[in-house]
Amino acid sequence: MSAEQQVKFYQTGTFTVGNRLLDPSKRTVQASIDRRNALTSGHRACQGCGEALGARYVLDAAMRATGGRLVAVNATGCLEVFSTPYPESAWQVAWLHSLFGNAAAVASGVAAALRVKGSDVRVIAQGGDGGTMDIGFGCLSGMFERNDDVLYVCYDNEAYMNTGVQRSSATPAAARTSTTPALGDEPGNSFGTGKNLPALAMAHGIPYVATASVADLHDLEGKVERAMAIHGARYLHVHVPCPLGWGSDPARTIQIARLAVESGLFPLFEASCGEVVRATPIRRRAKVDEYLRLQTRFAHLFDGTPRSAEALARIQALADRNVSRFGLAPRETEHHSP
């Protein structure tokens, strides 16, 4: 069987075509016949799952970066549940799951044991936004503060999807979830102050913090590789649409992820020791409406009422603030009208 025949069907899109134009050393891990398929096919994620896609790219990039000398610790959540229904496992990497809120601490223990044994094996911990930003935040902060040699990856789909789409501290303002129904004076999630976990990670002064999106898998892989080239506590926050929870078309996962970036709602950047060192400018700035309109969790914002118009304006202001804060404005201004 030739190498070409082993490439799977999901790689035949424009991403792969674009990838083939690159210098071989810069091509995506997924284009290589040597890729590990650390999260292999056959698992039980939903169609269009951004987390499954993100996790596969993260793990394979980390496997390439470490020559396969890698172990993974997983928080409870969708990723854990859809990948390991006993007696099946989709993991082709040494993998450990303990609890919802302790992945960062378990990974600290793994890293400590490896250090004591003088091993060169590296550690990745991963979890969803609930396991990372809410219930696991104490352990995560401890791991950061001790600068333990762990890359922690948060797959942020902005709610507790595994338990049926309940609100988390990552749920955006106005979003409808099963615990923030689109009812009453302030339909959907309230406009709180938000919880910016990459900024909280940066406040620990850890050597590497980055955000990434499944809309730009090359960028995601590059960030994993840079993270694995560094020792100490590192944090990667990956934006992963959830068709089930967001009420979006599974075929549009990448498009929606891209609109989150292009609207400015999810800025892509890297930080070193608490300082932003690189932000990805937006090539084509989108209005937040373009992004929100594709998700039924925001459907109530498009009822034409003044209240909804005000909510949309507030969300647009959040995006605009990100754009100015990170200097993301398109180099050639090219606003598309909704």
Partner 1 sequence: MLKQIEGSRAIAEAVALCRPEVICAYPITPQTHIVEDLSEIVKAGDLGRCAFINVESEFAAMSVAIGASATGARAYTATSSQGLLYMTEALYSAAGLGLPIVMTLGTRAIGAPINIWNDHSDAMALRDAGWVQLFAESNQEAADLHVIAFRLAEELSVPVMVCVDGFVLTHAFERVDIPAQADVDAFLPPFEPREVLDPAAPITIGALVGPEAFAEVKVLAHHKLLRSLDCIPALAAAFAARFGRAAGGLVRPYRTEGAETIVVALGSVNGTIQEVVDAMRADGHAIGSLDVCTFRPFPFAAVRRALMRASRVVVLEKNLSVGMGGVLATDVREALGVDAPAVYTVVAGLGGRAITRASVRAAVEKAQAGTLEALHFLDLDRRVVARELAHEVAR
Binding status of residue 113 toward partner 1 by CB under 8 A: yes
> How far from each other are the two terminal CA atoms of the chain, in whole angstroms?
48
**Nearest-5° angle of CA 303, CA 305, CA 311?**
90
- Rule CB under 8 A: which of 166-195 touch partner 1? none
191, two tokens = 């406009």
User: To 10 degrees, the CA torsion angle through 106, 107, 110, 111?
Assistant: -140
Binding string, residues 120-139; x marks residues near partner 1 by CB under 8 A: -x----------------xx
Binding string, residues 50-89; x marks residues near partner 1 by CB under 8 A: ------------------xxxx-xx-----xx--xxxx-x
Nearer to partner 1, 40 or 255 (CB): 40
Whether the CA torsion 270, 98, 58, 189 is positive or negative: it is negative
Stretch in the footprint of partner 1 (CB under 8 A) among 107-115, 178-186, 233-241, 284-292: 107-115
Alpha carbons 64 and 58: distance in angstroms, whole number: 10
Nearer to partner 1, 58 or 257 (CB): 58
Binding status of residue 226 toward partner 1 by CB under 8 A: no
Pairing relationship of beta strands 122-128 and 208-213 according to DSSP bridges: unpaired
Binding status of residue 316 toward partner 1 by CB under 8 A: no
For 312-320, which contacts have Cβ atoms below 8 Å and span 24 or more sequence positions?
312/288, 314/173, 314/191, 315/172, 315/173, 315/174, 315/265, 315/288, 316/287, 316/288, 316/289, 318/173, 318/194, 318/265, 319/263, 319/264, 319/265, 319/288, 320/264
Of 7, 31, 114, 276, the residue at the interface with partner 1 (CB under 8 A) is 114
Nearer to partner 1, 80 or 221 (CB): 80
Binding status of residue 94 toward partner 1 by CB under 8 A: yes
Q: Residue 293 Cβ, how far from partner 1 at the closest point, in Å?
A: 36
Stretch in the footprint of partner 1 (CB under 8 A) among 102-110, 168-176, 193-201, 305-313: 102-110
- Rule CB under 8 A: which of 140-159 touch partner 1? 141-142, 145-146
Stretch in the footprint of partner 1 (CB under 8 A) among 108-116, 196-204, 281-289, 301-309: 108-116
Residue for token pair 């590990």: 36
DSSP 156: E
Alpha carbons 85 and 88: distance in angstroms, whole number: 5
Catalog residues that contact partner 1 under the rule CB under 8 A.
68-71, 73-74, 80-81, 84-87, 89, 91-99, 101-102, 105-118, 121, 138-139, 141-142, 145-146
